Amino acid sequence: MTARAVLFAVIALVLPAFVQANEPRGLSYNIRSSLNPNLTTVESFIEAILNVLLVLSVPIIIICIIFAGFTYVTAQGNPEKIKTANRSLTYALIGAVLILGAVALSGIIAGLVNSFRT
């Protein structure tokens, strides 16, 4: 199963359980969550998901960067180990940029949506 299929399955199966639409009145939604009653809007739900993602991913990214540094130090000129260290560092930094970009993008979108609300 590919990553896209897993992501689609999670979104298609889990998200409707948390989201229940009210009477159509623009784009307003009401979320009922048995896990956290403070999640009352789509923005707060997405923010909670991104916060969990940050808490889980930051230590993993730090460990990957430390592993890449350790691999550089122990490579001793071995081109295969240097290539592995370069790849590890590149993937860790790409992951960090994607995760921080998702948090920044969600903040920008939430600010934009809130500026159009009346």
Distances (CA, A) of 29 to 7, 90, 95: 22, 39, 31
Instruction: Provide the pLDDT for residue 94.
Output: 95
Q: What percent of the chain has pLDDT over 90?
A: 32
Q: Does the pLDDT at position 90 exceed 80? A: yes
- pLDDT higher at 115 or 66: 66
Looking at the fold, whether 56 and 108 belong to one and the same domain comes out as: yes
Q: What is the pTM of this model?
A: 0.60
Same domain, 102 and 116: yes
Helix (H) or strand (E) holding 19: strand 19-21
Range of the domain at 4: 1-40
3-class SS of residue 14: helix
Tell me the average pLDDT across 93-116.
87
Per-residue pLDDT averaged across 14-35, rounded? Answer: 53
Q: What is the mean pLDDT of residues 103-113?
A: 84
In the chain, the amino acid numbered 59 is: P
Number of structural domains found in the chain: 2
pLDDT score of 5 more than 70: no
Do 52 and 11 belong together in one domain? no
Same domain for 49 and 36, yes or no, is: no
